[in-house]
Structure 1
Amino acid sequence: MRVLIVEDEPYLAEAVRDGLRLEAIAADIAGDGDTALELLSVNSYDIAVLDRDIPGPSGDDVARWIVASGAGIPIIMLTAADRLDDKETGFESGADDYLTKPFELRELVLRLRALDRRRAHARPPVQELAGLRLDAFRREVYRDDRYVALTRKQFAVLEVLISAAGGVVSAEELLERAWDENADPFTNAVRITVSSLRKRLGEPWLILTVPGVGYRIGTEADAVDG
């Protein structure tokens, strides 16, 4: 999952970003409305977390832009106000959920995952492919009913690969979906993480390398072809 945090309090924004990373949720930060709109126009996000009171276009303005773009990105509004009319205005702007400051990071994580499940309603909450079973809510992975312990980053990479349903995912896309905008595009982090993930899942190898293209999860058809 990749999230955009729009918050003009840098310490709060960085604390939330760092906390989300510990939950295998990649997060970018925008400190004002103009930066938020710029990032939304060039990156693909699963959820936007918007502070309503930010410099430049307000959180409500950014929310309306998201709705008008047709991107279908769920929105969580952050505000220091707990008045019903403030919440009503936020929901009218396109918010899907509301969180009043101060808040617990754990609550934000739970709300993000709940929104992500609703957003991906066409995708079963438990994904299965080639003998792999990934439960995103419980953060559990099984291969042929054998539990596989993964690091947060390995889990994030596997989630992207399984969601592709056997399709090829480029290293660039993995970097975008499982890391964040601060990741070095020239890093070998993707290759290293995929290699370690492959070993964790065990033999026969399930993650196949498509030379010059990317990676994908092998299926029964691969075994037949082989």
Structure 2
Amino acid sequence: MADRKPSVVVLDYGSGNLRSAVRAVERAGADVTLTGDLDTAMEADGLLVPGVGAFDACMRGLREIRGERIIARRLSGGRPVLGICVGMQILFSRGIEHGVETDGCGEWPGVVERLQAPIVPHMGWNTVQVPEGTRLFAGLEDERFYFVHSYGVREWSLVTNDRTPEAYQPLVTWAEHGPEGQADRFVAAVENGPLTATQFHPEKSGDAGAQLLRNWVTSL
């Protein structure tokens, strides 16, 4: 049916701002289910992976519901996944917090580490450096988004070549935190085929965040 809403599962693995994420994606035009059930998560048009807190704790919760398998299986079938905040960080190879090194999902190479800025955490509104060709940030190139984090990915290390399909060529959005001359650069968002992620919280980012979620939902 033409008026059918896309179905989205917000993955419930014990972490994240779950209710506000559900409400935000509903307002973006999706039919939303909050669950950790594998079959339901596999069948949805889109999967949103939230995350708040420590990398290690989030990975433990994710593994308890086999969430890393859900993500991998969806992506192997080209089915969309959106990670938010620590839900983005756990998509990378590993995280290092307080001397503890934890394996992530490994969907992207890279290390989540403490931001090297004079004041941490990075908390509040910030602009982002949007890449050419973005669909996620369509109409939002000059907007600000809400960040709350002390850790991030400071180097993008995925290597692609001319044989990589255009749809799978990653588009990386960057942001900086700290005063001029002392600012640290980190990955603010990634668009990579069916896998999309933001370090900031769209559900806390006002009208700009609402439009970004609509951009994602309408792509499902």
So what's the TM-score if we normalise by structure 1? Answer: 0.37
Q: Which has the higher contact order (CA 8 A, sep 6+)?
A: 2
So what's the TM-score if we normalise by structure 2? Answer: 0.38
> Normalized per residue, which structure has more strand?
2
> Normalized per residue, which structure has more helix?
1
